Each structure stands twice: as structure tokens, then as C-alpha cells.
Amino acid sequence: MDFRFDNSCIAIAVALLLGVVPQTARSQTMEERLQRGDAVVRSLNNRAPQPALERMRQEFPFLAGATQGFALGDVWSRPGLDGRTRQLAAVAVFAAMGETAFMRIHAGYALNIGVSEEELKEVIYMVTVPAGFPRAIAASQTLSELFTERRAAPGKQP
């Protein structure tokens, strides 16, 4: 017998073995999950694909597919939180982790969907308590750069 698995089958199998795929996602096709993930990105990124995800897809297609299908298609599209809350939470978590590149992407999304600069600044102030001043300062510098670029750009895109 010749068994062939594509990357989406492998991703689902690994996730099932690790128990990280919700029961509802198990009965959905990978294509449905990828479509939901694409819809999430486009809803946050002014109807455009996410450039970092598209670059990743070139050299790391499995990782890009897993990110789009699971992180975006399964987790990010869940009911229970609105887009603003999800983006503010993502900014806070990435800032607290010191992951300013990811924080910047989500701060851009937050601005795209109506979160104000002042609200993002408040999130960074909150980061000082659980994560410390060095991470909050790094996050504030990244946000300042993003704000400056968006203010200077026509149409204020991320």
C-alpha cells in the first residue's frame, strides 16, 4: 500500500495527537479552516493578505498552513471575543513576551479596526506590571515607530 499525506493531513494528525484541535475543528476540512483563516487576516488587514504569512508560505509552507488553519481558522475565528478585544489581548501578550515584531503586526490590525493609539498605549502601560519595564519600553518604542509610519503614510496603512 502506498500512503501519501500532504502537509495539511500531517498538521491535523500532529494536532490531534497533541490534543490541541477542538472537537468542532476535527470534523472540518483543512480547506475550510484555511478559508476561515484567510477571512480573519483579510478582515484585520484592510482586505489584503498578511505579508509575513505570505513570505513564510514560500519557504515554510507547512508552518504557514498550520498558522492559517489552526491559529487563525480555528482559534482566532472563535466566538466569544470581539475583534478589538482579541487585538488588545494579542498586543498585550506579545509585548509581555518581548515579541515586538508580532506585537507590531497586531497593533497595526488593532488600528485598522478602530482601536486608538491611546488605547494601545494603555495596554503597554499595563505590561509594566506583569512583564517589567524593559519589555514595556521595547514595546513602546515599537509602537512609536508604527505610529510615526502610519501618520506619515497616505491612507495610513499598516
Average the pLDDT over each of 10-14, 81-85, 90-94 and give the range with the smallest value: 10-14
CB atoms inside a 10 Å sphere around CB 9: 12
Query: 96 and 72, same structural domain?
Result: no
Q: Mean pLDDT, to the nearest integer, of 116-120? A: 98
Is the separation of the CB atoms in 43 and 35 below 8 Å?
Answer: no
Q: Is the pLDDT of residue 154 over 90?
A: no
Q: Is the pLDDT of residue 120 over 80?
A: yes
Q: Mean pLDDT, to the nearest integer, of 4-33? A: 58
Q: Is the pLDDT of residue 137 over 70?
A: yes
Query: 46 and 112, same structural domain?
Result: no
| Burial per residue of 19-48, b for 16 or more beta-carbon CB atoms within 10 angstroms, e otherwise | eebeeebeebebeebbebbbebbeebbeee
Query: 101 and 70, same structural domain?
Result: no
Q: Is the pLDDT of residue 9 over 50?
A: no
Is the separation of the CB atoms in 77 and 36 below 8 Å?
Answer: yes
Query: 147 and 92, same structural domain?
Result: yes
Average pLDDT score over the chain: 86
Question: What's the confidence (pLDDT) of residue 41?
Answer: 92
Query: 93 and 54, same structural domain?
Result: no
Q: What is the DSSP string of 95-142?
A: HHHT-HHHHHHHHHHHHHTT--HHHHHHHHHHHHHHH-HHHHHHHHHH
Question: Given pLDDT bands bounded at 50, 70 and 90, which one contains residue 2?
Answer: very low
Amino acid at 38: D
Domain that holds residue 57: 30-79
56, burial (CB in 10 Å: exposed 0-12, middle 13-18, buried 19+): middle
Query: 150 and 104, same structural domain?
Result: yes
In a domain, 63, yes or no: yes
In a domain, 45, yes or no: yes
Query: 100 and 41, same structural domain?
Result: no
CATH classification of the domain holding 112: 1.20.1290.10
Question: What's the confidence (pLDDT) of residue 19?
Answer: 52
In a domain, 59, yes or no: yes
Is the separation of the CB atoms in 72 and 37 below 8 Å?
Answer: yes
Amino acid at 137: I
CB atoms inside a 10 Å sphere around CB 114: 10
Q: Mean pLDDT, to the nearest integer, of 38-58? A: 91
Domain finish residue from 45, 79, 113: 79
Query: 90 and 58, same structural domain?
Result: no
Question: What's the confidence (pLDDT) of residue 20?
Answer: 54
Query: 90 and 69, same structural domain?
Result: no
Question: Given pLDDT bands bounded at 50, 70 and 90, which one contains residue 16?
Answer: very low
Question: What's the confidence (pLDDT) of residue 158?
Answer: 46
Q: Is the pLDDT of residue 102 over 90?
A: yes
Question: Given pLDDT bands bounded at 50, 70 and 90, which one contains residue 25?
Answer: very low
Instruction: Look at the chain and report how many structural domains it folds into.
Output: 2
